[in-house]
Amino acid sequence: MNEAYWAKNPNGPFATLIAVAATYCHPEAYDGADADLVDRARSPEPDDEEIRLFKTELREALADPARLPDDELFKAVDYGDGSDERFLRRLWRDLYGDEPTAGA
């Protein structure tokens, strides 16, 4: 009955990217969510598979934003960047700085 995109489509395209972005980047996220996501992305714990998959999916989405499921990212995050692509670019920059998006 959980109607979140990632709950209904656990193996769906970019489910992890959208779930993590919804958790930390939505305007209703808790105070300190931004800092926690940066910390989690830059210093992942050895068993944090979710953040590793998040990074992979973020790379893939930046390479081809048209592959994102129709409007699911904005529905989940309600970002103010104007487009999926601008939000994802800002997210990458905030988390990974100048690291190239086309990674290993």
Partner 1 sequence: MRELRDRPDEADDGGRAERDGPGAGAVRERSEVRSRSEYAADAELAVGLEVVRRFDARRAGLTEVSTRDAAAYLDVRQAERPWLAAARDRSPEVQRLFAALDQGGGHGHIRHEGWVTEEMSRRRVAYLEDPAQLDPAKRAAAIDGLLPGDQRHRCGSLATRIVNPDAFAVAFARGAEHSDVRGALDAEIRKSRVPSPVVLPIASLLGPHGHRYCTGWQLEAVEGSVKTARERRDASADVTVRQVETFDGGTVIFAFGPNRARSGYEIVSMYVNPPDGA
Summarize as ranges the residues that interact with partner 1 (CB under 8 A).
1-4, 6-7, 19-20, 22-24, 26-33, 36-37, 39-40, 45, 48, 50, 74-75, 78-83
Q: Least Å distance between CB 56 and partner 1?
A: 17
Contact between 2 and 8 (Cβ < 8 Å): yes
**C-alpha Rg value of the chain to the nearest Å:** 13
Q: Of the two residues 29 and 62, which places its CB atom closer to partner 1 in the complex?
A: 29
Nearest to 57 by CA among 40, 45, 47, 69: 69
Q: Of the two residues 12 and 104, which places its CB atom closer to partner 1 in the complex?
A: 12
Q: Least Å distance between CB 102 and partner 1?
A: 26
Q: Please tell me the distance from the alpha carbon of residue 31 to that of residue 14, in angstroms, as a whole number.
A: 25
Q: Of the two residues 45 and 98, which places its CB atom closer to partner 1 in the complex?
A: 45
Q: Please tell me the distance from the alpha carbon of residue 12 to that of residue 32, in angstroms, as a whole number.
A: 29
